[in-house]
Chains A and B, each alone.
Chain A
Amino acid sequence: MGSKASTLAENQGESLTVDQALANLNQTADSSLRYYAAWWLGRFRVSTPVVIEALIGALGDEVDRAPDGGYPLRRNAARALGKLGDRQAVPPLIQCLTCPDYYVREAAAQALEQLGDPRAIQPLRSLLAGGVAAAVPVPGKPHLVQPYNAVLEALGSLGAREAVAEIQPFLDHEIAQVQNAAARALYQLTGDAAYGQQLVERLQAPNLQLRRSAMMDLGAIGYLPAAQPIAATLAENSLKLIALQGILETHLHRTGFPQGGLSSEARQVLALMDELL
């Protein structure tokens, strides 16, 4: 399938080798090379011990600073560590949840979700402190005080049932995306279809971005009754296909495909996907 790092790198028009990327990450003279190397190592899934060690080191970088005071290299290192699946990164990523840079906290929460380690649950919950009343925008910034979407989604994926009561109030947060993240997490934690339906209703929202994000959420949680509404919503076929893939594959997993054959529900989802090609 040509998924070898070398072939893919050529397709990107930027050819790096693993050794070069590692050398670029370990030098400190050119921060743009470090930044790119961190992204590259994650993109091409290079998860050797030296790479993990170097990326964990980059989470403490003090050199690469954005005009807003943020830490671009730390953000990329956190994102890469999320993709590489090595749980050694969990404690240093947990530390990143208290980084002053919002985007480092967001990338760390997403990475901790991907790594699937329950040690992250408590530290993630602490970012919900103060509840909805505290979840307000930072003046002059395009974001809230914490990366609530990423935190709620991570708690859902990590199976943090103990956090249900804290998550529920976020269904009434004033920002629709946060409501979606809460509904998604609550569906994962409780299996209650009412939360899935709440996301399905979003597919009728007048705003295209909201419809798109609800589709991706429904795909991520594999909510089978959403298949038909997703096929019918007004959005790009490419995104609908990705969402339906998520729903189909969750269902295939639950029904023991291929040993168990194809259920009639799976056949219906496949028929919807065929029409969108």
Chain B
Amino acid sequence: MVNLAELIEAVETADSKAAMVMAVRHLAAAQHPEAIPTLIAVLGYNNPGAAVAAVDGLVTLGRPAVPALLDQLDGYNYGARAWAIRALALIGDPLALPVLLETAAGDFALSVRRAAVRGLGNLNWEWLAADQVLPAQSQALQVLRQSTQDPEWVVRYAAVVGLETLALARLKSTNRATVEAIAHHLQAMLTAEETPAVQARAWLAFEVLRQL
């Protein structure tokens, strides 16, 4: 059993990009909640390999990492912010909903908006109290629909994926009317959308919903 302090120190003293990636992988593999602050700090090091490993580690730790991720969101370093939003999106804790809504609708960096939009479709709604589910889903739906008009194709693409997953979640919560509304929105995108990749994704999502 390796000492957690040693693993953290290895990250803090790594002297090359490759050494950093290895040190972060080892720390992530320990799956220890006390590694969370160090893993979050790595998101700001401008080292994509290390950031991927840190996000993996945070996502594996899951919900215990969410408060610290929310608390330490870096408003000045959009690289770090994109990775943190990605971690929050993959964990899917509805605690992140306000941050994801705000980021999806208003962040200037497209990689950050893309990750947030993806997260809105990926929340574990059953972690919310029963009476909060529908209001929260409605907020997510509204921002996802707006995001299908984003100037960046990849954000619109993510919004289609988000709408599809939200529709599937809604189906479980028996709100058929919203599912119909999403299907209708996707259908409208099939003709209005000008980027073929997004159009193809809307086609696929529409097909999935139509076959339900």
Contact = CB atoms under 8 A, between A and B. Distances in A.
- Chain A binding surface SS class: helix
A234 B49 contact: yes
Interface stretch (B34-42, B174-182, B191-199): B191-199
B154 A241 contact: yes
B197 A258 contact: no
A179 B121 CA distance: 42
B118 A277 contact: yes
B48 interface: yes
A270 B151 contact: no
Interface string B111-147: 1001101100000000000000000000000000000
Contacts of B207: 262
Interface residues on B, range: 20 to 34
B19 interface: no
B166 interface: no
A249 B198 CA distance: 10
Contacts of B154: 238, 241-242, 245, 277
A277 B151 contact: no
Interface residues on A, range: 20 to 34
B200 A262 contact: yes
Given A2-B151, A241-B154, A258 B199 contact: yes
Interface of A: 1-3, 208, 234-238, 241-242, 245, 248-249, 252-253, 257-258, 261-262, 266-267, 270, 273-274, 277
Given A257-B196, A270-B201, A277-B118, 10 more contacts: A1-B149, A1-B151, A1-B194, A2-B151, A236-B48, A238-B154, A249-B196, A258-B199, A262-B200, A266-B200
Interface of B: 48-49, 52, 110-111, 114-115, 117-118, 149, 151, 153-154, 157-158, 161, 190, 194-197, 199-201, 203-204, 207
